Amino acid sequence: MHETTCDVAVLGGAFSGAATALLIKRRHPAARVVIVEKAEVFDRKVGESTTEVSSCFLTRVLGLTQHLGHEQLAKQGLRFWFARSADEAFDECVEIGGKNNSRLPGFQVDRAKLDEHVLRLACDAGCELWRPAKVSRVDVEAKTIEVSVGEEKRILQAKWIVDATGRVALLARQLGHFRPNTEHPINSLWARFRGVKDWDGYELRSKYPRWAEATRAGRTWATNHLMGYGWWCWIIPLQGGDTSVGLVYDSRLFQPPEGATIAERLKAHFAKHPVGREMLSEIEAVEGDQRAYSALAYHSEKIAADGWVCVGDAAGFIDPFYSSGLDFCAFTSSGAAVLICRSLDGEDVRAAADDFNTRFQFCYRAWFEGIYRDKYFYMGDAELMAVAFLLDIANYHLGPVRQVFSDPACMFEAFPFDGTPGKVVRCILRFFNQRLVALAQRRRAAGVYGQRNAGWRLLVGGFLPDGTSVRLLLRGLSWWLRAEWRDLFLRVPAQPAPAIAPLTDTSPR
């Protein structure tokens, strides 16, 4: 059997694997880094909308501005659409989003192109690529990896093993560290479509002039979201004209319609939301580009030890809402690269690996509890989501966004929620999130959930990592107090509302 030794073996050559390999090679040019990638070419996957944090990583750490400008699309923030009922008028639907285009960079990325580009940069920097090559077994004690390259079996002996196999989470599963997040039972269906209407085009501008003039921002390049009780949909434009459209739902609250194909099921669902009906009525699915995943949320109980580390989705995943997947890839890849380079320099990094692991576990839990836990209970109520939008996004800008922009070269090594301030912020965010869940449940029980999902817009000037976000945070608090005030006058029957909602229900009970 063919046997090769190297300093670092990276299992999986997509975004997290290629980025980690590239960072190691830049810091430690002498290191021999071998990347093992199963796919002969990357396909389009999810993870197409970047945040301010992941965009900072892409532009200021990896240095991809040219690629992003020429090959991908500039993203114009987030936009959320709510309806009181399925037959609401399109221009009466509540809109939450930006009044202006974004001031910090963001991108809508075709992952097949992005991942190929980062992998090419890693190879140009001197990494060795085995592809198509599948890792079949890893022995972390002996630091050996069995790889199939076509019919040939190879053994790779490495000082460090980086697991970047995504949801396959090879090491977590093999070592018994894989933990599904059963408190967060979310699932997703998605496809790419042609024929989504142009949000800023002549047809809609002439049909709904008041609607068109409501914002100075381009709606087309935003990540648009349709919202409902227990579910949300993303609409992400891609360079070249296709649009990625997907549905994420909490199976405790919602089940998508049945249908012969994923695209048919999605279309049946969109037809029940007034904005979906208007924008997506003429769509056609791109052949062979439809997927479904269940049980999206999970994490690995241990992501690092002396000699191995997990990065990106191989370490864990919480929820695609707000698009923080690539943020986690950026933080874990940066931290792993530093850990490995220190070890290659001769330092004993056992304590550092333990610390990396402890901080990741805290961050995962804090992010989950502070932002996502039971959020699907209030996703269909525009007023409660307006509170969440203002508080979540303002906090994000004052926390992680400010952190990484303050020193992009170093601050990706720290996880959000690190240290004592992180513990305090976790408690505050958790309180507000759970309060919104409680308010939503009481609104459902009283039959007024989503009752104000028509006739208004919340369009904000834009979030920045400075005093602007402090003002938006205060605005979020005032919206929250108003929701609490309204709650005082609710007539809630003694019996709680049934947990399971009718199919594709966007309306109040």
For ligand FAD, the binding residues (CB under 6 A) are 11-17, 36-39, 45-50, 54, 134-135, 164-168, 170, 188, 190, 246, 248, 293, 296, 312-313, 317, 320, 323, 325-326, 329
CA distance 283 to 198: 12
The CB-of-3 to ligand FAD minimum distance in angstroms stands at: 18
Nearer to ligand FAD, 123 or 448 (CB): 123
Instruction: Return the number of other C-beta atoms located less than 10 Å from residue 435's C-beta.
Output: 17
DSSP secondary structure letter of residue 59? I
Nearer to ligand FAD, 37 or 381 (CB): 37
The string of DSSP letters for 301-365 reads: S--EETTEEE-GGGTEE--TTTT-HHHHHHHHHHHHHHHHHHHHTT---HHHHHHHHHHHHHHHH
The CB-of-332 to ligand FAD minimum distance in angstroms stands at: 8
The string of DSSP letters for 226-292 reads: EEETTEEEEEEE-TTS-EEEEEEEETTT--PPP-SSHHHHHHHHHTTSHHHHHHHTT-EEEEEEEEE
Nearer to ligand FAD, 187 or 504 (CB): 187
Residue type, 470: V
Convert 396-451 into a string of H (helix), E (strand) and C (coil): HHHHHHHHHHHCHHHHCCCCCCCHHHHHHHHHHHHHHHHHHHHHHHHHHHHCCCCC
Nearer to ligand FAD, 49 or 504 (CB): 49
Query: For helices 419-446 and 467-487, what crossing angle results, to 10°?
Result: 30
Nearer to ligand FAD, 53 or 440 (CB): 53
The CB-of-187 to ligand FAD minimum distance in angstroms stands at: 9
125 vs 33, 187, 409, CA distance in Å?
Answer: 10, 38, 18
The CB-of-307 to ligand FAD minimum distance in angstroms stands at: 19
The CB-of-477 to ligand FAD minimum distance in angstroms stands at: 28
Nearer to ligand FAD, 42 or 81 (CB): 42
CA distance 367 to 374: 13
The CB-of-205 to ligand FAD minimum distance in angstroms stands at: 28
The CB-of-105 to ligand FAD minimum distance in angstroms stands at: 14
Convert 367-409 into a string of H (helix), E (strand) and C (coil): HHHHHHCCHHHCCCCHHHHHHHHHHHHHHHHHHHHHHHHHCHH
Nearer to ligand FAD, 248 or 384 (CB): 248
Nearer to ligand FAD, 246 or 274 (CB): 246
Nearer to ligand FAD, 16 or 357 (CB): 16
The beta-strand segments (E) located in 12-151 are 33-36, 73-74, 78-82, 94-98, 107-108, 128-130, 134-139, 144-149
DSSP secondary structure letter of residue 475? H
The CB-of-168 to ligand FAD minimum distance in angstroms stands at: 4
Nearer to ligand FAD, 95 or 327 (CB): 327
Residue 117: both structure tokens together: 């580009």
The secondary element (H helix, E strand) that includes residue 190 is strand 186-194
The CB-of-234 to ligand FAD minimum distance in angstroms stands at: 7
Residue type, 130: W
The CB-of-386 to ligand FAD minimum distance in angstroms stands at: 21
Beta strands 33-36 and 178-180 are: unpaired
CA distance 190 to 262: 7
Nearer to ligand FAD, 169 or 204 (CB): 169
The CB-of-462 to ligand FAD minimum distance in angstroms stands at: 20
User: SS3 for 22?
Assistant: helix
Instruction: Return the number of other C-beta atoms located less than 10 Å from residue 192's C-beta.
Output: 23
The CB-of-170 to ligand FAD minimum distance in angstroms stands at: 6
Nearer to ligand FAD, 293 or 456 (CB): 293
Residue type, 210: R
User: SS3 for 62?
Assistant: coil
Nearer to ligand FAD, 33 or 164 (CB): 164
The CB-of-189 to ligand FAD minimum distance in angstroms stands at: 9
DSSP secondary structure letter of residue 167? G
Beta strands 107-108 and 73-74 are: antiparallel
